Amino acid sequence: MRTMKLGCTHLEVPVVGIGCMRMDRLSQAEAERYIQTALELGANFFDHADIYGGGECEAKFAEAIHMNDDVRERIILQSKCGIRKGMYDFSKEHILEAVDGSLHRLRTDYLDVLLLHRPDALVEPEEVAEAFEILQTTGKVRYFGVSNHKPMQIELLKKYVHQPIVANQLQLSITNATMIAQGMNLNMGNEWAVDRDESVLDYCRIHDITIQPWSPFLYGFFEGVFLDNPKFPELNQKLDEIASRYGVSNVTIAIAWLLRHPAKMQPIIGTMNVDRLRASCQAADIQLTRQEWYEIYLAAGYQLP
């Protein structure tokens, strides 16, 4: 697996990360097989969140990987916190409690990366800074980032937080690529010119923040997978055409499209299907041409002004 630096750090991570949101749906044997396959492919970066399966996903992962000190040193663990039932919570107390809970379920004494999951309207950035300082000095968290955050929300955090923000996990796929489309539609009157993201893509590139696309195979907000979906005939025809050219699957090309972007993104794949896992990781070896990238972009329904 090809690797990259995470954000401004020296931490080497695989260019494809493994999302564990659905791991609670697997049996013990299925989870063991899935994790072992990922490790064999060099995909040793595992993304969690305290709310995934109500904590069951973290617990099942630790059990399935047979967590011990030797195993822990061979993997990279990222988790997220801040979503609670009916609210978001970035209070110092909740962040600290959430991390302790994740560490307990994952059977480890540290996270490589902690992300704040979704922006809290009542965030007190001073409290976040205090929590981060405690987590870093106690060795419980090595690096920090955010998820679903706009540039000014990150700037507000950075006013108080001393640690660098190394990642921003954002919804991004071929069919959910407004953050890419709007950059090419300045001063235009079409729907792609609407700025919904505050130029978050450019902001993250400027500040060495790794974008981690989540749900890279989905369209809408968890509406479904666009691959082999009759709602997207032109897109799937183009993906199949390019996949045939490279001798890979359309899954591989969908991830390769994200990896081709010079922002050096790290897609987080959430599939629990071993074959799709293999196909996704194969994208690390595919370099789409500029023409192929734009052909896929246009086939998804976007337009060039």
Q: How far is residue 183's CA from residue 161's CA, in Å, rounded to a whole number?
A: 29
Count of beta carbons in the 10 Å neighbourhood of residue 74: 9
In the chain, how many H helices and how many E strands?
A: 12, 14
* Known active-site residue 52: yes
Cβ neighbors of 196 (< 8 A, separation 6 or more) are 178, 179, 182
211 φ/ψ angles, rounded to the nearest 5 degrees: -85, 130
Q: Specify whether the CB–CB gap between 90 and 153 falls below 8 A.
A: no
Hey, what amino acid is at 44? N
Hey, what amino acid is at 195? D
Q: How far is residue 112's CA from residue 166's CA, in Å, rounded to a whole number?
A: 11
Instruction: Give the DSSP H or E segment for 31.
Output: helix 28-40
For the record, the structure tokens of 182 come out as 């709007």
Catalytic residue among 34, 52, 219, 302: 52
For residue 115, give Cα distances in angstroms to 87, 148, 175, 213, 243: 17, 10, 25, 14, 34
Instruction: Give the DSSP H or E segment for 276.
Output: helix 274-282
Q: Tell me the residue length of the chain.
A: 305
Which H, E and C letters describe 123-152, residue by residue?
CCHHHHHHHHHHHHHCCCEEEEEEECCCHH
**Closest residue by Cα to residue 250 from 232, 236, 231, 268:** 236
Supply the residues annotated as catalytic. 52
